[in-house]
A and B are shown apart, each in its own frame.
Chain A
Amino acid sequence: MAEALAFRGVSAGYGETVVLEDINLTLAGGENVSIIGRNGVGKTTLLATAMGHTRLHKGEVLLGGMNINRMPIYARALAGLGYVPQEREIFPSLSVRENLEIGARPGYWNEARIFELFPRLSERLTNMGNQLSGGEQQMLSIARALLTNPDVLLMDEPTEGLAPVLVETLTAVLLKLRDSGLSIVLVEQNSRVALGFSERAVIMDKGRIVYDGPSAALRDDPEQLAKLVGIVEAAAPH
């Protein structure tokens, strides 16, 4: 399959500060990848670089084979990049329906499919964004990104700060999305969720990719996972 998203020799950061160094990562169409790593290793910066939120110092970012280095953020979204931010960033004074409509574009993902995926949202349509629980906000954030009908979906720690029962619910949704054929880059600190999500895993440390290979190898070798991630806890079963 043709490449959906690619980073070629990318060094990027904020202002003069370089956070990512020489990143080479290619995602084929329909492929899913989980990105694992400790806090501050550049996982979020990698997604932010794809979206154009950072300063690109070197290399190129390709979307569907097209160089998007100089493309403005909104044009990247229109070109097929969907982004679910870590902080959810729901519009507080818009209703749930308005939050959903605000970036909606025609395509496979429509309201009916969204409500099938997140029945809870259909019950909260007239509520304002600031009246939702953390889990509902996360659902809305994912739904809002899906309704832009992206080719590649970037998800930044969707399970962060959620109760275990909600993590289970959301993990089931992630697996459904994975099976829908959408290309997904999942940044996740919860290694159990991350390694269960995709066949391919990437581990980052100090702004570089230190592992790019099958998730199964890491699932079967917790010691190796702990060594690569840099903390023993990462390998501990949750």
Chain B
Amino acid sequence: MTMPAQQVTPGLSGHPAALALINRHRVRAWEPLPWIIAIAFYFAFPNHLGFGTDLLVTILFALSLDLALGYAGIVTLGHAAFFGAGAYTVGMLAHHGIWTEPISGLFLAAGVAALIGFASGLILLRTTGLTLLMLTLCTMALLEEAANMGEKYTGGFDGLPNLPIPPLFGLFEFNPLYPRVQYVYVLCVLFVCFVFVRTLVYSPFGQSLTGIRENVLRMRAVGAPVNWRLVTCYTISAAIAGIAGGLWAQANAYVNLSTLGLDRAATVLIILVLGGYGRLYGAFIGAVVYMALSHFLAKVYPTAWQLGLGLLLMLIALFARNGVLGLWDQLTSRFIGKRGPT
């Protein structure tokens, strides 16, 4: 039975299009760097692993938004709806003693967020621009208010504290004071999700998302079912945001309305703009710059630290149209003559 596959595979692997696809997926020499830094952080800053865990969760959340906004061009201001859906799924199931196991809990969080993403995407993605922006915001506001009103199940304004999250694989306990397990756990989940997203954006599906972002009409004219692809992308993006929310709830052992708020949605958008959207690693750079700077500025100037962030954002918007990575591209193309982003 394996013979036909063996006969076909060598032919396909030598095909120019297959070679181009393999080349696109090729791991660049610098790509292990963020992961090496993340591992080094674990050993170098054992007292800041709480911050590190939060940072990794934010990177995952920003990565999910990058898939929708950066690649497919879906302008959304309500992505925290899916983050919150994932967080509340984990939180409610654990609080009410229905399901507490962490890894399967993440799958449930992803499933619920994906379901909301799919259902809302079917309607919302028929619109574009400001209408879409407002509708995504409304979806998030509706969910937030539902969480606020459903006090019996969600804890209302106070949220659900002290979630009983059992040890990972029955061995590694989540300690809120020394979040080593949380850090490693979140890092592993981030890596798996990143590999998935990376594979997706370099696949023909990912290329078609870029095509849709750049010219919807042309994509339709070459036979791409644009709406379905957008809904699929939005659903996947929602699922990943749900995983990020689930991780947040597990790592902090509580969930509250802040997971569903405009503040979180706007922050992740700022992070992506800061790092550079549509380029995978923009989520990493943006989250590191934003959170490190917030951390630092809040210590230096506790009463008006957001002023410094605002100024930085203004500079980025004025001089680096596609964030820090866009600025890097501009500089390298000026001095080395490197080609533009892919």
Contacts and interface: CB of A to CB of B under 8 A. Distances in A.
Contact of B222 (A72, A128, A130, A144): A144
B210 A148 contact: no
Given A53-B217, A77-B223, A111-B17, A91 B210 contact: yes
Contacts of B341: 93
Nearest to A130: B340
Interface in A82-125: 83, 85, 89, 91-95, 97-98, 101-103, 105, 111, 125
Nearest to A81: B221
Nearest to B21: A101
Interface in A131-147: 131, 144-145
A144 B210 CA distance: 16
A128 B226 CA distance: 23
Interface in B69-91: none
Contacts of A97: 17, 20
B218 A89 contact: yes
A93 B342 contact: yes
Question: A75, A85, A97 — which one has the most chain B CB atoms within 10 A of its CB?
Answer: A97
Question: B215, B218, B221 — which one has the most chain A CB atoms within 10 A of its CB?
Answer: B221
B126 interface: no
A130 to B, nearest CB: 7
Given A105-B223, A111-B17, A85 B342 contact: no
A128 B225 contact: no
B211 interface: yes
Contacts of B217: 53, 73, 89
A78 interface: yes
Contact of B218 (A85, A125, A128): A85
A51 B223 CA distance: 11
Contact of A101 (B207, B215, B218): B207
Interface string B214-242: 11011111111110000000000000000
B339 to A, nearest CB: 6
B223 A103 contact: yes
B11 to A, nearest CB: 14
A91 B211 contact: yes
> What range describes how many residues of B lie at the interface?
20 to 34
B224 A103 contact: yes
A73 B220 contact: yes
Contacts of A74: 219-221, 223-226
A77 B220 CA distance: 8
A51 B221 contact: yes
Contacts of A94: 207, 210-211, 214
Contacts of B224: 74, 102-103
Interface in B246-289: none
A203 B138 CA distance: 52
B276 to A, nearest CB: 13
B308 interface: no
Contacts of B342: 93, 95, 128
A83 B340 CA distance: 28
B215 A91 contact: yes
A98 B219 CA distance: 13
Nearest to B216: A73
B223 A89 contact: no
A97 B210 CA distance: 14
Contacts of B339: 128, 131
B208 interface: yes
Contacts of B219: 74, 102-103
B14 interface: no
A83 B221 contact: yes
Interface in B112-163: none
A94 B278 CA distance: 13
A185 to B, nearest CB: 14
A101 B341 CA distance: 19
Given A93-B214, A94-B214, A102-B207, 14 more contacts: A72-B225, A73-B217, A73-B220, A73-B221, A74-B223, A74-B224, A91-B214, A91-B215, A95-B342, A101-B204, A102-B219, A128-B340, A144-B222, A148-B222
Interface of A: 51, 53, 72-75, 77-78, 83, 85, 89, 91-95, 97-98, 101-103, 105, 111, 125, 128, 130-131, 144-145, 148
25 contacts: A74-B219, A74-B224, A74-B226, A75-B223, A77-B222, A78-B223, A89-B215, A89-B218, A91-B210, A91-B214, A93-B214, A94-B211, A101-B204, A102-B207, A102-B211, A103-B219, A103-B222, A103-B223, A125-B20, A128-B340, A128-B342, A130-B340, A131-B339, A145-B222, A148-B222
